[in-house]
Structure 1
């Protein structure tokens, strides 16, 4: 199998915390070797696949959270890769209400409602609709996905839910008693997810915003992403966005969010993640190599076309390396004075300029 290049990665996943990124990496069917980043891209990427989809994963810098750093990471990712759809996967604070009995470890999905909410890519909305139909008929196999994670990385089996901090010092009249569920099955809630640059810890403010906007979850990264990085936000519930916020549930919540992401991707059709010019050039090149061999003029021409596409996309270093290969092949196959060899030299000179 030919090595993967940047053009193979059209789905991007962004995480805020390292624990979230660890969960996503553990959910991969197959990890891929790292690729060199653009010179002006400081992001650290992980690569792999789930099903038929190749994924590039990035995490915010340690200790730096909020929607501005997330937007910076997303913009860097889009400059380095031909991203078509994105996922924000991680943890969030659930909103208790009469309409949604959301609990710790449940999952909140950013499905736009009414006039509120940014619209994720059509491919993700189609996949989401198919998944919801599947849920009614057969359920969502979240436990199977979590088992896959534990098998891929046995250390992830420690991602279990524990008892959280209590409200023993609060006014007992204000304590909300939740009825025990009949099953321990995770539940998925769809609706508006509110984003802000600071952690939501004030219960009264949370209730006011949630009631007015129909919010099911609060988080910190997604608000400014949608315009330039169309994505779906997936949050495992680790607290209730109040003063009892703690980290006890974060690991398990990150795992449940990632489990949903894995299942959702299985409903995304490969053809809905449209081929880019780079991928089409790569397909032509691979076909010519397999049919005619690496030194056939058609194969060399396909290499030159790919280099030109990379150059037009601004990937000068990649274009330069490929054009040097084209020039060496033209010299060895056609000779230094052949018109195609001279053209290859001109293309290389143009890239250098």
Structure 2
């Protein structure tokens, strides 16, 4: 049995496909934990990845969204008291644009938008989108540990100079686990189709793929340059990830929200971790967040995200990770800060309300008070024009 105290990396997946990909990249697998928190219902896969001991958990079968993710994160932190770094790794829907040539299988790393002042993930109210065609941004994810942000910058620079070997790593894993070739190998490139926003996949015939239902008319697709031998394929993109409470499968809304926020990717779970699990979010692109969604690219997208994460952890030494605060302590500090902020806001609102109430009382007293004849007379003398009213003493009818 494994000691829960030796694990410093907490890795959360949403679906089984992601969980399998994460496990496949472990250098060695460990026994089940010696003990876990009393009310922890998570299923864990433990092991070593490079220099780090990693605890991997997946959301319960057929449970999706923010609440399930928050529950898994909370229970993981209680069961593994020395977790220092959080990771949310899996698949997502891409938002291609003229500035970001995103293809299926690419990787999006949730990083801070310096200009917009946001963390790596923004949360939005998708329910309001349908009603008003406007997006309500309701929050942003807390920054991940500094050690991960430093590693992201270092890995980005290394990839720019030397490229990456993500495809090679995936092929070696598939040779190690040949049963995964059917579900997690890269699909044929011809199945990577980005349709124009107004071309929709019939919801009455969702069982067939787009090559059958929508056809291969090039005039109905976004034309993109093929990647050359000097281009990374899959490519790694850095920027905002949008997390909402419903599945994004509308190309027009995708483009509208991407333009408004700069989001490169859409997903559903991370918003639930905002105040429970400060983490870095990494997504492999399995579709284009439109009506043409299917599961053909999910396995490979999960593998590219896991392979990138493996590379990332190699950039971080165990000593640097150990210097980070425990996630449990970080969350307590965050909650204390938020509590102080809420108290300060309440006190400010109360003070403002007291000032407004006092002013209203003063105005009412002034309005209701009887006139002071002496004060009125003095005021009248000050503003009186010299000679005013003296004519009355010269008028015979008044003498």
| TM-score for both structures, normalised by structure 2 | 0.66
> Structure 2 CA distance, aligned partners of 1:277 and 1:192?
25
> Structure 1 CA distance, aligned partners of 2:216 and 2:323?
56
Give the match for residue 248 of structure 2.
200
Deviation of 1:226 after TM superposition, in Å, equals 3.2
Deviation of 1:171 after TM superposition, in Å, equals 9.5
Q: Deviations over 1:268-295 (max 9, x none)?
A: 12112126999xxxxxxxxxxxxxxxxx
SS in 2 for 1:224: helix
Give the match for residue 24 of structure 2.
26
Give the match for residue 67 of structure 1.
66
> Structure 1 CA distance, aligned partners of 2:89 and 2:297?
15
Matched, 1:254 2:254: no
SS in 2 for 1:14: strand
Asked if structure 1 preserves the Cα contact closer than 8 Å seen for 2:65 and 2:272, the reply is no
> Structure 1 CA distance, aligned partners of 2:105 and 2:147?
26
Matched, 1:177 2:223: yes
Matched, 1:84 2:132: no
Further displaced range: 112-121 or 177-186: 177-186
Match runs of 1:131-146 below 5 Å: 131-146=155-170
Q: What runs of 5+ residues in structure 1 fail to find an aligned partner?
A: 279-353
Deviation of 1:147 after TM superposition, in Å, equals 2.8
Give the match for residue 49 of structure 1.
48
- Seen in structure 2, the aligned counterparts of structure 1 residues 5 and 208 have a Cα distance that, compared at 3 Å, is same
> Structure 1 CA distance, aligned partners of 2:75 and 2:296?
32
Further displaced range: 70-79 or 152-161: 152-161
Matched, 1:273 2:273: no
Give the match for residue 294 of structure 1.
none
Give the match for residue 160 of structure 1.
185
Matched, 1:229 2:277: yes
Q: Deviations over 1:240-275 (max 9, x none)?
A: 000111111101111111110111110012112126
SS in 2 for 1:109: strand
SS in 2 for 1:92: strand
> Structure 2 CA distance, aligned partners of 1:234 and 1:152?
24
Deviation of 1:173 after TM superposition, in Å, equals 5.9
Matched, 1:123 2:147: yes
Give the match for residue 351 of structure 1.
none
Q: What runs of 5+ residues in structure 2 fail to find an aligned partner?
A: 120-140, 193-209, 327-399
| TM-score for both structures, normalised by structure 1 | 0.74
Deviation of 1:156 after TM superposition, in Å, equals 2.2
Give the match for residue 104 of structure 1.
104
Asked if structure 1 preserves the Cα contact closer than 8 Å seen for 2:85 and 2:321, the reply is yes
Asked if structure 1 preserves the Cα contact closer than 8 Å seen for 2:248 and 2:289, the reply is yes
> Structure 2 CA distance, aligned partners of 1:161 and 1:77?
32
Matched, 1:148 2:166: no
SS in 1 for 2:159: helix
Q: Calculate the aligned-residue CA RMSD, in Å.
A: 2.1
> Structure 2 CA distance, aligned partners of 1:245 and 1:259?
23
SS in 2 for 1:186: coil
SS in 2 for 1:40: coil
Deviation of 1:137 after TM superposition, in Å, equals 2.0
- Seen in structure 2, the aligned counterparts of structure 1 residues 96 and 49 have a Cα distance that, compared at 3 Å, is same
Give the match for residue 257 of structure 2.
209
> Structure 2 CA distance, aligned partners of 1:148 and 1:85?
27
> Structure 1 CA distance, aligned partners of 2:176 and 2:12?
21
> Structure 2 CA distance, aligned partners of 1:202 and 1:277?
40
> Structure 2 CA distance, aligned partners of 1:22 and 1:90?
10
Asked if structure 1 preserves the Cα contact closer than 8 Å seen for 2:84 and 2:325, the reply is no
> Structure 2 CA distance, aligned partners of 1:89 and 1:203?
24
Matched, 1:9 2:7: yes
